[in-house]
C-alpha cells in the first residue's frame, strides 16, 4: 500500500491522458463525466468512479459532468437524482454547469434513429422477444437474420413514427440496428435501439412512449458533451465497438470520446449491486438506503465516514485493469486514520458499573481539565466533572484477574483518565451474587496535571455518575458475516446477513455530549469512533459506532 506522497508513478489512465495531452489531442483538454443511472442510491463502488472522474478533471485542470443516464423510466426516480447530487457534492466535487441528463438528448437521439433508418442501417422488428433471443446465436455460432431485416426504408420509417405516436403496445415491435448477425461480438448482432414503454418519465413526463436503449444513448451522450475520456468499468469493453459504430453512422467529425475501461471496485463482506441493495431496503432488512450498515455513500456518511476518508481510500486502492477484491478492512483503516486526526476524545461508558469513592467528600464536584486530542493541540481542552460516584466499564473490572490484567481488581490500583489514582477496596454484590458496585478509595495526591509522580499501569475511562447523561448508542457491525456473500452457488446473499450487525444500548456519557449535532465525530476513549446520528435531540444524543478501536485488552485476556 502506498501513501499519497509515495504514489509518484502514474496509473494507466493518467498515462493515457498525459500521452493525449502531449500529442495535443482534444486541444489539450480533459473532459470526463460520471454517468449514474438514477435507479438507486450510490454505493462505495460509485464513489471510486466519482473520485476517478472528478479527480482526473481536477488533476488536469479539466472539467467533469454529472450525467444521469435516465433511459429507463420503469426504475428511475427523482429521489435518486437528488440523493446522487447530494452524495457527489458531499464527497467534495462539483460538476460542470448544470447536471446533464441523457433524457435531454431524446430528441436528438430520435432524429439519429430516423437517420439510421433512412440509410438502411436500422429496422423495425415485430417478432417476440423470445424469437429474437433465439436467433441471436452464441459466441461461436452466428445468429440468424430476422425475417424483418430487409423491410423497406419507407416501411420502417412509418412504423417507427407510429411507434413514437403510441399506436402499439409494449413488446409489439422494436427498432434494431442493422449491423452484423454473424459478428463474433454478440453486441453487434443487430442490437435493440428503441423499445416501447408506456411509462411516464421523471423528466420528460408523457412526451415519449418509446425510449432509447442505454447502448444507443451512452456513446452519443459522451459525444454531444464533448467528453474526451470516457471511463467505465470492464464489462463495457465489448460495447465499445458498438458505440463507435453508432457514431460512425451519425457523425462526420473526427472527434470521438476515448473510452477507457477499468476494474470495478469489489469489497469483501459487502454486496454492491444496486439491485441487491434495493432488495434489502424494500424487504426492510435494513432501515433504508442510509442505514449505517449499508455500503451506500449515504449509509457510510451516517455511519460517520468522512469525505476525506473515502477519497483517501479511493486513492489508495488505485485503478486496475483486472477485477479484484479489496479487503473491507482497508476502508475501515482509512476512516480510523482520518478520525484519529480529527475527532475529539471524550468519555462514555457503554456498560457501566458503579464505583463509590469512600474517602471523597460527599457532594463535592471538581472540574478537571482534559485535552481534546493529543494528536492535535489546537483542538484545546475542556473540563469534566469528578465526584464521589463514578461509572467505569464493567469489563474493566475483574474479581479474579489473569496475571497481565492491568485494569481494576480487588486490592489493585488504576488511574482514572485525567483524574486520580483509585484502589479497589471492596466488591458489593446483590443477593444473586452479581456485582452491584465497587467501593474504592482515591489518593488525593495524584490529581492529573499536578505533578504527581506516582505511576500505575492501567488508565481507565469513566464518567461522574450524578453528572452523566444517558446516550443511545447504536453499535454497528458488518452487515454480512461472510467474506463473499454474493459468491455462493447454493445460497442467496441474504443468508449471510449478520444477525448481530446492530445492537442498541444506553450508555453513560460525559455531560459535554448533551447537545451535539448530526455528523459530529468523537472518539469514545478506549472504545472506538462514534458519530452523532440525525435522530439526536437536544439533551438526548444518539450515537452511531463508526469503527471500534482495536481492542488490545481482549487479546491480553485471551492469552491469560
Ligand atoms: P450496479 O452494478 O451497482 O447496479 P451500475 O454500474 O448499474 O451499478 P451505474 O449507475 O450505471 O450503476 O454506474 C454509474 C457509474 O459508476 C458507471 O460508470 C459505472 O461503471 C460506475 N460503477 C458502478 N459500480 C462500480 C464499482 N463497483 N466500481 C467502480 N465503478 C463503478
Ligand atoms: Mg448500470
What is the per-residue pLDDT across 225-235, written as a single tens digit (0 to 9) for each? 999 999 999 99
442 and 509 in a single domain? The answer is: no
**67, three cell numbers:** 450525467
pLDDT band at 560 (very low <50, low <70, confident <90, very high): very low
Taking CA atoms only, the protein residue closest to ligand 1 atom 25 is 45
Assess if residue 76 is contained within a domain. yes
Give yes or no: residues 45 and 150 share one domain.
Answer: yes
pLDDT classification of 550: cutoffs 50, 70, 90: confident
Ligand nearest to the CA of 38: 1
Query: What is the whole-number distance in angstroms between the Cα of residue 34 and the centre of ligand 2?
Result: 12
For the chain, how many structural domains are there in total? 3
* Residues 143 and 241 placed together within one structural domain of the fold: yes
Give CA–CA dist 470/239, Å, rounded.
57
C-beta separation of 201 from 103 below 8 A:
yes
Which of 34, 46, 321 to mutate to test ligand 1, by most ligand atoms within 8 A of the CB atom? 46
- Residue 42 CA, closest ligand 1 atom number: 10
Phi-psi domain of 391 (left: phi exceeds 0; alpha: psi -120 through 50; beta: other): beta
Phi-psi region of 404 (alpha: psi -120 to 50; beta: other; left: phi over 0): alpha
Atom nearest to 53 CA in ligand 1: 18
Distance 87 CA to ligand 2 centre (A): 18
Nearest to 250, CA basis, from 329, 167, 300, 193? 193
- Distance between CA atoms of 19 and 270, rounded to whole angstroms? 36
Provide the β-strand partners of residue 509: 348, 469
Mutating to test ligand 1, I would choose from 39, 44, 49 the residue with most ligand atoms within 8 A of its C-beta, which is 49
Residues with CB under 6 A from ligand 1: 35-37, 45-46, 48-49, 232-233, 264-265, 272-275
> Confidence class of residue 553 from pLDDT cuts 50, 70 and 90?
very low
Residue 365 and residue 294 share a domain = no
Both 278 and 338 in a single domain?
A: yes
- Of ligand 1's listed atoms, the one at least distance from the Cα of 266 is 27
- Residue 280 pLDDT exceeds 80: yes
Pick the residue whose CA is nearest to atom 18 on ligand 1. Answer: 232
**Does any domain span residue 103?**
yes
pLDDT at 100: 98
Mean confidence (pLDDT) of the chain: 95
Residues labelled as active-site residues:
37, 264, 274
3-state secondary structure at position 441: strand
Cα separation, 385 vs 513, in Å, equals 13
Q: At what angle do helices 78-90 and 44-59 cross, to 10 degrees?
A: 50
Flag whether 269 is in a domain: no
Where is the domain boundary, 234, 262, 290? 262
Higher-pLDDT residue of 475 and 557 is: 475
Q: Are residues 439 and 529 in the same domain?
A: no
C-alpha 37 to ligand 2 mean position (Å): 6
Index of the ligand 1 atom closest to the CA of residue 277 = 3
Annotate 100-131 with b (16+ C-beta within 10 A) or e (fewer).
bbbbbbbeebbebbbebbeeebbbbbebeeee
30-49: burial string, b at 16+ Cβ within 10 Å, e else = bbbbbbbbbbbbbbbbbbbb
First to last CA, the chain: 34
What pLDDT is recorded for position 452?
A: 85
Ligand 2 midpoint to CA 262 (Å): 15
Separation of 47 CA from ligand 1 center, angstroms?
Answer: 9
Using CA atoms, how far apart are residues 426 and 437, in angstroms rounded to an integer? 9
pLDDT tens-digit series, residues 398-419: 999 999 999 999 999 999 999 9
Nearest CA to ligand 1 atom 26: 45
- Ligand 1, atom 9, lies closest to the CA of 36
pLDDT of the residue at 545: 97
Element (H, E) at 106: helix 106-118
C-alpha cell at 536: 439526536
Domain that holds residue 374: 348-461
* Cα 96 to ligand 2 centre (Å): 22
Do 282 and 403 share a domain, yes or no?
Answer: no
Please report which confidence band the pLDDT of residue 559 belongs to, taking 50, 70 and 90 as the band edges.
Answer: very low
Question: What's the pLDDT score for residue 76?
Answer: 83
Residues 191, 44, single domain; the answer is yes
Average pLDDT estimate for 290-305: 98
Please report whether residue 267 resides in a domain. Answer: no
CA of 66 to the centre of ligand 1 (A): 14
What whole-number distance in Å separates Cα of residue 194 and Cα of residue 223? 19
Q: State the Cα–Cα distance between residues 132 and 192, nearest whole angstrom.
A: 10
* Residue pLDDT, tens place only, 46-105: 999 999 999 999 999 999 999 999 999 998 889 999 999 999 999 999 999 999 999 999
Give the gyration radius of the chain's Cα atoms: 31
Contact 440, 424 (CB under 8 A): yes
Q: Do residues 446 and 505 share a domain?
A: no
418: exposed, middle or buried (Cβ count in 10 Å: 0-12, 13-18, 19+): buried
- Residue identifier of the C-alpha nearest atom 10 of ligand 1: 36
pLDDT interval class at 8 (50, 70, 90): low
**Residue of 33, 39, 45, 95 to mutate, ligand 1, most atoms within 8 A of C-beta:** 45
Cα distances (Å, whole numbers) of residue 166 to 114, 162, 213, 285, 436: 17, 6, 18, 40, 76
Atom 2 of ligand 1: nearest residue by CA position: 273
- Centre of ligand 1 to C-alpha 49, Å, is 8
> Which residue has a Cα nearest atom 23 of ligand 1?
46
Q: What is the pLDDT of residues 124-143, one digit of tens each?
A: 999 999 999 999 999 999 99
The answer, yes or no, to whether residue 476 has pLDDT greater than 70, is: yes
Does one domain contain both 333 and 366? no
Residue 451 is predicted with a pLDDT of 85
Task: Give the mutation target among 230, 233, 270, 493 for probing the ligand 1 site: most ligand atoms within 8 A of CB.
Answer: 233
CATH classification at residue 362: 2.40.240.10
Confidence band of 321 (pLDDT split at 50, 70, 90): very high
Spell 440-479 as b/e; 16+ CB within 10 A means b: bbbbeebbbeeeeeeeeeebbbbbbbebbbebbbbbbbeb
365, 480: one domain: no
Note whether residue 330 is domain-resident: yes
Among all ligands shown, which has an atom nearest to the Cα of 232? 1
pTM: predicted TM-score of the whole model, two decimal places: 0.93
Largest CA distance in the chain: 102
Confidence (pLDDT) at 13: 98
Ligand 1 atom closest to Cα of residue 37: 10
Region 6-31: mean pLDDT is: 91
Whether residues 390 and 533 share a domain: the answer is no
Nearest-atom number in ligand 1 for the CA of 38 is 10
DSSP designation for 179: -
> Does position 118 have pLDDT exceeding 50, yes or no?
yes
Ligand 1 center–CA 271 separation, angstroms? 13
Model confidence at 475: pLDDT above 50: yes
Amino acid at each position: 500500500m502506498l501513501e499519497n506522497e509515495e504514489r509518484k508513478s502514474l496509473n494507466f489512465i493518467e498515462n493515457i491522458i498525459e500521452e493525449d495531452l502531449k500529442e495535443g489531442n482534444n486541444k489539450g483538454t480533459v473532459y470526463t463525466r460520471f454517468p449514474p443511472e438514477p435507479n438507486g442510491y450510490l454505493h462505495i463502488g460509485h464513489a471510486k468512479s466519482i473520485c476517478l472522474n472528478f479527480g482526473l478533471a481536477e488533476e488536469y485542470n479539466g472539467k467533469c459532468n454529472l450525467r444521469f443516464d435516465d433511459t429507463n423510466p420503469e426504475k428511475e426516480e427523482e429521489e435518486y437524482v437528488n440523493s446522487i447530487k447530494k452524495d457527489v457534492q458531499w464527497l467534495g466535487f462539483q460538476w460542470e454547469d448544470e447536471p446533464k441528463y441523457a433524457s435531454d438528448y431524446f430528441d436528438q437521439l430520435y432524429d439519429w434513429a430516423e437517420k439510421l433508418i433512412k440509410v438502411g442501417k436500422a429496422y423495425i422488428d415485430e417478432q417476440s422477444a423470445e424469437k429474437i433471443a433465439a436467433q441471436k446465436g452464441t459466441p461461436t455460432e452466428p445468429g440468424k437474420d430476422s425475417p424483418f431485416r430487409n423491410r423497406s426504408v419507407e416501411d420502417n420509417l412509418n412504423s417507427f413514427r407510429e411507434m413514437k405516436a403510441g399506436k402499439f403496445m409494449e413488446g409489439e415491435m422494436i427498432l434494431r440496428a442493422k449491423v452484423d448477425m454473424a459478428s463474433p461480438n454478440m453486441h453487434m448482432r443487430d442490437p435493440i435501439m428503441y423499445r416501447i414503454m408506456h411509462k411516464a418519465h421523471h423528466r420528460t413526463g408523457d412526451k415519449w412512449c418509446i425510449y432509447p436503449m442505454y447502448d444507443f444513448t451512452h456513446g452519443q451522450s459522451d459525444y454531444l458533451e464533448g467528453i474526451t475520456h470516457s471511463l467505465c468499468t470492464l464489462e463495457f469493453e465489448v460495447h465499445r465497438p458498438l458505440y463507435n459504430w453508432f457514431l460512425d453512422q451519425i457523425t462526420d467529425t473526427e472527434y470521438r470520446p476515448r473510452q477507457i475501461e477499468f476494474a470495478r471496485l469489489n469489497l469483501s463482506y459487502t454486496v454492491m449491486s444496486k439491485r441487491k441493495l434495493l432488495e434489502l431496503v424494500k424487504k426492510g432488512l435494513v432501515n433504508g438506503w442510509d442505514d449505517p450498515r449499508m455500503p451506500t455513500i449515504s449509509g457510510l456518511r451516517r455511519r460517520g465516514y468522512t469525505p476525506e476518508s473515502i477519497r483517501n481510500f479511493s486513492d489508495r486502492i488505485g485503478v486496475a485493469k483486472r477485477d479484484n477484491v479489496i479487503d473491507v478492512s482497508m476502508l475501515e483503516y482509512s476512516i480510523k486514520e482520518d478520525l484519529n486526526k480529527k475527532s475529539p476524545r471524550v468519555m462514555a461508558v457503554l456498560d457501566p458499573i458503579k464505583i463509590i469513592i469512600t474517602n471523597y467528600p460527599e457532594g463535592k464536584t471538581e472540574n478537571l481539565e482534559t485535552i481534546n486530542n493529543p494528536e492535535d493541540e489546537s483542538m484545546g481542552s475542556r473540563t469534566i466533572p469528578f465526584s464521589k460516584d463514578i461509572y467505569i466499564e464493567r469489563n474493566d473490572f475483574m474479581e479474579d484477574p489473569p496475571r497481565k490484567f492491568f485494569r481494576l481488581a480487588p486490592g489493585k490500583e488504576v488511574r482514572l483518565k485525567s483524574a486520580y489514582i483509585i484502589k479497589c477496596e471492596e466488591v458489593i454484590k446483590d443477593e444473586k451474587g452479581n456485582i452491584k458496585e465497587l467501593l474504592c478509595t482515591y489518593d488525593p495526591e495524584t490529581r492529573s496535571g499536578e505533578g504527581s509522580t506516582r505511576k500505575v499501569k492501567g488508565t481507565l475511562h469513566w464518567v461522574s455518575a450524578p453528572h452523566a447523561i444517558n446516550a443511545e448508542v447504536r453499535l454497528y457491525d458488518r452487515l454480512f458475516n461472510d467474506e463473499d456473500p454474493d459468491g455462493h452457488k447454493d445460497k442467496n446473499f441474504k443468508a449471510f446477513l449478520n444477525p448481530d450487525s446492530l445492537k442498541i444500548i444506553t450508555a453513560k456519557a460525559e455531560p459535554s455530549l448533551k447537545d451535539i449535532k448530526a455528523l459530529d465525530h468523537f472518539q469514545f476513549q478506549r472504545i472506538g469512533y462514534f458519530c452523532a446520528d440525525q435522530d439526536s435531540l437536544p439533551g438526548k444524543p444518539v450515537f452511531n459506532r463508526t469503527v471500534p478501536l482495536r481492542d488490545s485488552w481482549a487479546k491480553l485476556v485471551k492469552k491469560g
